[in-house]
């Protein structure tokens, strides 16, 4: 076993030295819980394999426009917004990948926006602050083959956070929620229809937070 591993390493290094390596950007991510469940090691590796397959099949071009706006209504109230468009397409298809030529790229919503407000109010004995954000994404496919199981409808989510800080203390109290509307959608799908099962990675559900 040890000799075999060494042999494989030597061949691998030799190919890299003679042919170099190629880097590709793909839409399959590996990272936090919104892209995979790190407790399931098999699925973690499968996500990596899917990314390699995607990079091997074709290249892709992604174009978009993003704008940010900030408006101070008053000294204690600020409105902000982020608006983005996204368009992606496959290019330079490899042999055998012609079937994805007309399919949408994974996780490329045509339009998304983020509206919010930040409110700060001085009280007699401290300071109160409130942040509220509405996040909206158009529909998109969460898998490369655009199967029905991989279709993610448009979704809007609300995040809220409140904080109180006293004037004469070194503490603060914060409370809030992420995904307050408790939307349940999958952001990545591994559809093995031929094998009779589908694996989906879900968005983080509604999460309440209190800290002191």
Contact in structure between 42 and 201 (CB atoms under 8 Å): no
What is the per-residue pLDDT across 132-170, written as a single tens digit (0 to 9) for each? 999 999 999 888 788 888 899 999 999 999 999 998 878
Nearest to 21 by CA among 11, 13, 10: 13
35 or 175: which leads in pLDDT: 175
What is the per-residue pLDDT for 10? 42
Q: How far is CA 155 from CA 26, 29, 151, in A?
A: 23, 20, 12
What pLDDT, on a 0 to 100 scale, did the predictor assign at position 39? 46
Instruction: List CB contacts of 160: < 8 A, sequence separation 6 or more.
Output: 130, 131, 132, 133, 176, 177, 180
- pLDDT value at position 42? 46
pLDDT at residue 4, rounded to an integer: 36
CB of 105 closer than 8 Å to CB of 88: yes
Contact 47, 38 (CB under 8 A): no
| 44 backbone φψ class: left, alpha, beta (φ>0; ψ -120 to 50) | alpha
pLDDT tens digits along 181-200:
999 888 888 888 777 888 88
pLDDT at 23: 56
Residue 16 in this model has a pLDDT that exceeds 70: no
Concatenating the DSSP letter of every residue in 18-34 gives HH-------S---SSTT
Neighbours of 71 (CB within 10 A): 10
Task: Report the pLDDT value the prediction gives residue 175, as an integer from 0 to 100.
Answer: 96
Q: How confident is the model at residue 11 (pLDDT cuts 50, 70, 90)?
A: very low
pTM of the model: 0.66
Across 41-149, where does the E strand assignment appear?
A: 59-74, 77-91, 111-122, 126-137, 140-141
Confidence bin at 46 (pLDDT 50/70/90)? low
CA distance 187 to 150: 9
**Alpha-carbon distance 29 to 153, whole Å?**
20
DSSP 8: H
Looking at the chain, how many residues does it have?
212
Identify the pLDDT of residue 51: 60
Q: What distance in Å separates the CA atoms of residue 23 and residue 16, rounded to the nearest whole number?
A: 13
- SS3 of 55, please? helix
At 74-118, the pLDDT tens digits run 999 999 999 999 887 777 777 766 677 778 888 888 999 999 999
């Amino acid at each position: 076993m040890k000799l075999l591993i060494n042999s494989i390493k030597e061949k691998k290094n030799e190919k890299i030295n003679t042919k170099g390596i190629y880097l590709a950007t793909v839409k399959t991510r590996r990272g936090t819980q919104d892209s995979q469940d790190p407790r399931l090691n098999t699925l973690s590796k499968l996500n990596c394999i899917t990314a390699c397959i995607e990079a091997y099949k074709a290249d892709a071009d992604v174009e978009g426009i993003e704008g940010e706006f900030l408006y101070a209504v008053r000294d204690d109230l600020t409105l902000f917004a982020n608006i983005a468009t996204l368009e992606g397409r496959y290019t330079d298809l490899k042999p055998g990948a012609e079937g994805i030529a007309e399919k949408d790229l994974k996780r490329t919503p045509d339009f998304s926006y983020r509206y919010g407000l930040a409110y700060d109010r001085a009280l007699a004995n401290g300071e109160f602050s409130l942040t509220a954000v509405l996040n909206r994404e158009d529909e998109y496919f969460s898998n490369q083959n655009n199967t029905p199981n991989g279709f993610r409808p448009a979704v809007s989510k609300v995040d809220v956070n409140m904080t109180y800080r006293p004037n004469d203390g070194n503490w603060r109290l914060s409370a809030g929620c992420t995904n307050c509307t408790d939307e349940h959608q999958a952001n990545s799908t591994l559809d093995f229809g031929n094998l009779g099962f589908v694996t989906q990675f879900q968005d983080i559900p509604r999460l309440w937070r209190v800290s002191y």
